[in-house]
Amino acid sequence: MFLAIVINRNNKTLPIAFEHVFPLSNHEYTCKSVLKYMRTRGVSGRTLQPFFWMTSNSYIVSHFEENFHRMPPGAHEMLANIGHAKWIRAYFPNIRWNVVNNDVP
């Protein structure tokens, strides 16, 4: 059985195509694109970047919660709207292994 994991940079048509071809695939956003999205929407501050990266690299839910609450105001609601399973390793619904990361512009 082949399981595809799609990670993209806010491309709206790619996940739809993958869901059609690979119905069991999961779709995620790159952390870099999530951070860029937050900055373009006005969320900033000195604590945003370091706590964002600590939060995004959390493998355990308790570590995620601890770092998530340290982020600046406005970040919580915006990131909750994206969905934690789309960018946080601790909330990913499947086992992440053998991930090929192609950073195509």
Q: What CA–CA distance (Å, rounded) separates 96 from 105?
A: 23
Residue 104, domain member (yes or no): no
Counting the structural domains of the chain, the total is 1
* Cβ contact 75:46 at 8 Å: no
**pLDDT for 1:** 46
Q: What is the model's pTM?
A: 0.66
Local structure of 24: helix, strand or coil: coil
| pLDDT tens-digit readout, 40-76 | 888 877 778 888 888 888 888 898 899 888 888 788 8
Residue 32 placed within a domain: yes
Q: How confident is the model at residue 2 (pLDDT cuts 50, 70, 90)?
A: very low
Domain of residue 16: give its range. 5-91
The reply to whether 103 falls in a domain is no
Rounded Cα–Cα distance for residues 5 and 26 (Å): 5
Per-residue pLDDT averaged across 21-30, rounded?
74
Given a cut of 50, is residue 35 above it in pLDDT?
yes
Residue 99, pLDDT score:
52
